[in-house]
Amino acid sequence: MIEIGKIQTVTVARLVTFGAYLDAGTGRSSDNVLLPNNQLPPGIQPGDDVEVFIYRDSEDRPIATCKKPRVQVGELAYLKVAENTNVGAFLDWGLEKDLFLPFKEQKFRVQAGRHYLFAVYLDKAGRPCATTDIEPHLRTDSPYKKNDIVNGTVYMPRKGVGIFVAVEEQYAGFIPEHECFFPLSAGDRLQLRIIQVREDGKLTLSPRQLAHKQMKDDAAMLLGVLEENGGEIPLNDQSPPEAIKRHLHLSKKAFKRAVGQLLKAGKIEQSEWGIRLKASQPRPHRRQNL
């Protein structure tokens, strides 16, 4: 039996002027699937096996192609939204006919031209379709351990809760809100550190490195901000955490560590007003406001 939405090897039943019919495995020739002429491998004959992908054409008839899509039914893939229409969106999955994303399968409205992570399923009519509801498709048996560095794709930010992430596009992960100090949207990709492997197998994540490694990056970033703002900024270790997060995307704890490192290195000085580059440090002539 052929499977819609899957790559499979089938046998050529007969050749016709406009292509070849592939044996559907039902014993009824009326169920056989057309492989169009422009997809025929050179020299193919009845009885030969051919690897094809089966989907449905614009009239919902099963049709074969030798092209390989970027995703099959039951899989996840990071796909580009080709266009939005009044019936839903269409995704580029590498075939002539784009993959349909119904409105009811959009947990958020996708934007044309952007990439997101999608799962592919068969709808009630047996047509491959996409959904943004990928959580049921994510696994909880990852091989990772605490402090491993992984790649993640955001699939659902939830204000007041955190950011839900697919790790390596297959495992369930989550960034708690207190671990994220910059805005993230569905479809964003970033490198993450595992801070906990939960008992249920889900991964708790952070976009920040271990403190001693992250401190160097934060200190370098802070120097860059100072240089861009005329050599001084109105923030110090007494500033409210909200102000530090808003302007620098840092926690107050991380900010104080970075300031401490720069103070120790003699690169900045701190006052009640804020911090500034020491006189020996080069300063831009033009000051900008934060």
Give the residue from 66, 75, 68, 30 showing the smallest Cα distance to 48.
Answer: 66
Q: Give yes or no for a contact between 274 and 235, defined as CB atoms under 8 angstroms apart.
A: yes
Pick the last residue of a domain from 173, 206, 239.
206
3-state secondary structure of 136: helix
Among left, alpha and beta (phi > 0; psi -120 to 50; other), residue 116 is: beta
Query: Does 207 score more than 60 pLDDT?
Result: yes
Pick the last residue of a domain from 89, 119, 135.
135
Pick the last residue of a domain from 135, 169, 186.
135
More confident residue, 76 or 59: 76
Q: What is the reported pTM?
A: 0.73
Output the pLDDT for position 253. Answer: 78
- Other beta carbons within 10 angstroms of residue 106's beta carbon come to 17
Give the residue from 120, 129, 115, 55 showing the smallest Cα distance to 87.
Answer: 129
Within 13 Å, how many C-alpha atoms sit on residue 70's CB side?
18
Q: Considering its fold, how many domains does the chain have in total?
A: 4
Is residue 289 a part of any domain in this protein?
no
Quick: pLDDT tens for 92-137: 999 989 999 999 999 999 999 999 999 999 999 899 999 999 999 9
Residue 105 belongs to domain spanning: 76-135
